[in-house]
Amino acid sequence: MSTPAKVRPVTAPTVFTANRLRDGRVVWLAAGDAWVEEISAAAVFAPEEAEAGLARAKRGEAQQLVVGVYGVEVSIQAGKPVPTRFREQLRMRGPSVDAEPAEYRLAS
Amino acid sequence: MNVVLAPPPHARTYRYDAIDREFLDERIAEFTAQIERRLRGELTEDEFKPLRLMNGLYLQLHAYMYRIAIPYGVLNATQLRQLAMIARRWDRGFGHFTTRQNIQFNWTKLEDVPAMARALADVDMHAIQTSGNCIRNTTTDEYAGADPDEVVDPRIYAEIIRQWSTLHPEFNWLPRKFKIAITGAAQDRVAMQVHDVGLVARRDAAGAIGFEVWAGGGLGRTPLLATKLRDWVAEDALLAYLEAVLRVYNAEGDRANIYRARIKILVRDQGEAYRDKVEAEFARLDKTRYRLDPEVVAEIAQHFAPPPFASLPDIALPTDPDFAAWARRSVRRHRQPGYASVTISLKPIGGIPGDATAAQMEAVAALAERHSFGEIRVTHAQNLVLPHVRQEDLLAVFHGLKAAGLATPNLGLISDIIACPGMDYCALATARSIPVAQMISERFASLEAQYDLGELFLNISGCINACGHHHVGHIGILGVDKRGAESYQITLGGSATEDAAIGELVGPGFPYDQVTDAVETIIRTHLAHRAPGERFIDTYRRIGLAPFKEALYGIA
């Protein structure tokens, strides 16, 4: 159902995200082209650097490490990037509802 | 691999034969090889995506999601126990039952999928055709074989349609997905009129079986009720007629525009011309080749023969108040004296609609084995059913369910909410559904107030695709994105039963933190206007939208 988002100029600091190929988990592009689970470790690109950042992120797709790379606009709060869109905040934090029953938490 | 016990001897589920198992083994080997090639980087995502979707594997917001087919919502205890094992071993210890009578695992790892598929095959299950533009799981009445008003057992024909549609070479690449629902009862419990094809199995004066055929219903961006194509299609012509319905759609459905690709658009736009084309195709088809042989029907019917019911009288049920409150909502009359059907609410107050933990699945499996011939059904309202329980066992079943946290007596009430996973899980969603359901459930937690309110169906979808069936809820809530924030539009007056209707939009949307108040305002308006004994939907139909609009927005 998804359609490509309209390309609009990047006007805010941007981080790059994707889902990790082997387990689908949300990951963020960090320094050294590593993909990390914590957005706090993500590389933040100024608007004028976003195109170069996207090219770096796409290398992760080409290397079959990640799936579905795209940029996420962020604001910097207490020195850490925080997505401006609610959807990306949910991806950053995980579901807003209980995502595992207590018995599973105790067992794992 | 764990040892899988044989299915309970009397559970009426379709048992795979050698051909079914050989096909499934081959398919798992094929998909396993595709996954391995993907993980080695030999397939790109563009190449892999259509392959994984054909095998029920989505990539969602936080992880892969694996959607398992539960054919026509019928499970045996061994299968449910295996689903619990899968949830515990490869997921996060729970599963989500869907409005298509399937189950989804929300935290699947790609590398685990081959083992999960093999574990499913061990109990005659798979995830094939739970995605993609093909014929999906045919859904049916959760009380099939138990309902006192049933005319024809729909499971037999749902299984025939499953076999006919699985890997059907002509219909595996349709313009869009295709969903069939079938009922054989007087009351529509399958939302027949909002499916691509709806079938009503009937008997003529001589007792022969045939089908009323409806087509072109659906929800989503363009909600439409189905159009009746035929009053009667004889049993032996069922597959021929479905071939004709699908063939015309396959040829003429709009493949260029995804928003116009479902059969509902074709039926709406062509009207009588579509019906004429189906009839012409049906007339042209080789009836011998497509004939549904009565011997095949009889063979499949054996899988669903009644279990060995004992000769028992109906009895007076215990009067214990907790039990009586539960039984009033959860126990249903059965066609066999001395028996009852038990519906299990998966909607605890403040819980996640349709979710069950592994422990709960195991508890239900054990109760099914002990008290319901090993059978369990999944309902399109995201609850479970033990179809055949001795009335004398109902108290024990109640205590078993209560111990597992599954005895909330709220079926058919405002907290029995249908909700899609919404933006908490779904990549397509534009707003959250689950926490809205939880807030509303908690606001109306008082069971006394819910009983006073009476039957009320409240459905929530987290995007326009309408997996939460919001259009056909008495109260429907649709979450949308409004300039980056969640906004919830409310529709009133929908219905998914014989009097099917698409709800009317009441007005502008409400922010996340105001939608529960809005629902309460709607309920208060209903209470102020209702006649004695009137349900919400009846009040709405009598007084219309205006009083609700005025209460919500101060305008008539």
- Phi and psi at residue A42, to the nearest 5°: -70, 150
**Cα gap B370→B389, rounded to integer Å:** 9
Map tokens 């399109």 to a residue. Answer: B380
* A62 Cβ under 8 Å from any chain B Cβ: no
What integer is the mean pLDDT of B198-217? 98
HSE (side-chain half, CA atoms, 13 Å) at B462: 21
Amino acid code (one letter) for B134: C
Could you tell me which residue, B244 or A8, shows the higher pLDDT? B244
Is the pLDDT score of A34 beyond 60? Answer: yes
* B92 Cβ under 8 Å from any chain A Cβ: yes
* B424 Cβ under 8 Å from any chain A Cβ: yes
Instruction: Using CB atoms, pick whichever of A1, A23, A90 lies closest to residue B424.
Output: A90
pLDDT (0 to 100) of residue B181 = 98
Contact B427 A2 (CB under 8 A): yes
CATH classification code of B418-553: 3.30.413.10
Contact B157, B238 (CB under 8 A): yes
Q: Is residue A105 very low, low, confident or very high in pLDDT (cuts 50, 70, 90)?
A: low
Instruction: Using CB atoms, pick whichever of B110, B352, B484 lies closest to residue A23.
Output: B110
- pLDDT tens per residue, range B49-106: 999 999 999 999 999 999 999 999 999 999 999 999 999 999 999 999 999 999 999 9
**Cα gap B517→B530, rounded to integer Å:** 20
**Cα gap B323→B317, rounded to integer Å:** 9
CATH homologous superfamily for the domain B146-303: Sulfite Reductase Hemoprotein, domain 1 (3.30.413.10)
* B93 Cβ under 8 Å from any chain A Cβ: yes
- pLDDT tens per residue, range B358-368: 999 999 999 99
* B348 Cβ under 8 Å from any chain A Cβ: no
- Total CB pairs under 8 A between chain A and B: 98
Question: B131, B152, B141: which is closest to B68 by C-alpha?
Answer: B131
CA of A80, closest CA in chain B: separation in Å? 21
- pLDDT tens per residue, range B387-443: 999 999 999 999 999 999 999 999 999 999 999 999 999 999 999 999 999 999 999
Query: Is the four-CA dihedral B420, B426, B431, B437 of positive or negative sign?
Result: positive
Say whether B354 sits in a helix, a strand or coil.
coil
* B39 Cβ under 8 Å from any chain A Cβ: yes
Instruction: Using CB atoms, pick whichever of B258, B428, B432 lies closest to residue A96.
Output: B432
pLDDT (0 to 100) of residue B376 = 98
The token duo for B282 is: 């049906």
pLDDT (0 to 100) of residue B3 = 61
* A68 Cβ under 8 Å from any chain B Cβ: yes
Contact A104 B358 (CB under 8 A): yes
Which of B 101-130 lie inside 8 A of A, CB atoms? 106-111
**Number of domains composing chain A:** 1
Fold for domain B321-403?
A: Alpha-Beta Plaits (3.30.70)
Contact A101 B423 (CB under 8 A): no
Same fold: B321-403 with B418-553: no
Contact B88 A91 (CB under 8 A): no
**Cα gap B49→B52, rounded to integer Å:** 5
Q: Is residue A2 very low, low, confident or very high in pLDDT (cuts 50, 70, 90)?
A: very low
- pLDDT tens per residue, range B289-299: 999 999 999 99
* A64 Cβ under 8 Å from any chain B Cβ: yes
pLDDT (0 to 100) of residue A106 = 64
Contact A97 B424 (CB under 8 A): yes
Is the pLDDT score of A107 beyond 90? Answer: no
Radius of gyration of chain A (CA): 15
Burial class for A68, CB neighbours closer than 10 Å (0-12, 13-18, 19+): middle
Contact B144, B154 (CB under 8 A): yes
The token duo for B103 is: 């189950």
Domain-located, residue A7: no
First-last CA distance in chain A: 35
pLDDT (0 to 100) of residue A9 = 79
Contact B435 A97 (CB under 8 A): yes
Which residues are B181's β-sheet partners?
B139, B198
CA of B430, closest CA in chain A: separation in Å? 8
Which residues are B378's β-sheet partners?
B384
Domain-located, residue A63: yes
Q: Is residue A6 very low, low, confident or very high in pLDDT (cuts 50, 70, 90)?
A: low
- pLDDT tens per residue, range B490-503: 999 999 999 999 99
Q: Is residue B11 very low, low, confident or very high in pLDDT (cuts 50, 70, 90)?
A: confident
Say whether A18 sits in a helix, a strand or coil.
strand
Question: B14, B243, B233: which is closest to B140 by C-alpha?
Answer: B14
Contact list in A for residue B111 (CB cut-off 8 A) is 22-23
- Alpha-carbon distances, residue A84 vs A35, A36, A74, A92, B484 (angstroms): 21, 20, 5, 11, 9
pLDDT (0 to 100) of residue B434 = 97
Is the pLDDT score of A25 beyond 70? Answer: yes
pLDDT (0 to 100) of residue A108 = 56
CA of B62, closest CA in chain A: separation in Å? 5
Q: Is residue B272 very low, low, confident or very high in pLDDT (cuts 50, 70, 90)?
A: very high
Contact B104, B68 (CB under 8 A): yes
Domain-located, residue A5: no
Is the pLDDT score of B19 beyond 60? Answer: yes
Q: Is residue A1 very low, low, confident or very high in pLDDT (cuts 50, 70, 90)?
A: very low
* A37 Cβ under 8 Å from any chain B Cβ: no
- pLDDT tens per residue, range B374-385: 999 999 999 999
pLDDT (0 to 100) of residue B114 = 98
Q: Give the residue from chain B lying closest to A67, CA to CA.
A: B45
Q: What is the ipTM of this complex?
A: 0.91
Contact B352 A86 (CB under 8 A): no
Fold for domain B18-121?
A: Sulfite Reductase Hemoprotein; domain 2 (3.90.480)
Query: Is the four-CA dihedral B115, B119, B124, B127 of positive or negative sign?
Result: negative
pLDDT (0 to 100) of residue B484 = 83
Q: Kind and range of the H or E element at B227?
A: strand B227-234
* A96 Cβ under 8 Å from any chain B Cβ: yes
Q: Which domain holds residue A25?
A: 14-107
Can you give the residue ranges of every domain in chain B? 18-121, 146-303, 321-403, 418-553
Domain-located, residue A65: yes
What integer is the mean pLDDT of B461-476? 97
Domain-located, residue A26: yes
Q: Would you give the DSSP letter of residue B99?
A: T
- Alpha-carbon distances, residue B71 vs B68, B76, B226 (angstroms): 9, 11, 23
Instruction: Using CB atoms, pick whichever of A2, A67, A87 lies closest to residue B45.
Output: A67
CA of A40, closest CA in chain B: separation in Å? 17
pLDDT (0 to 100) of residue B1 = 44
What integer is the mean pLDDT of B250-256? 97
Q: Give the residue from chain A lying closest to B113, CA to CA.
A: A23
What integer is the mean pLDDT of B477-485? 93
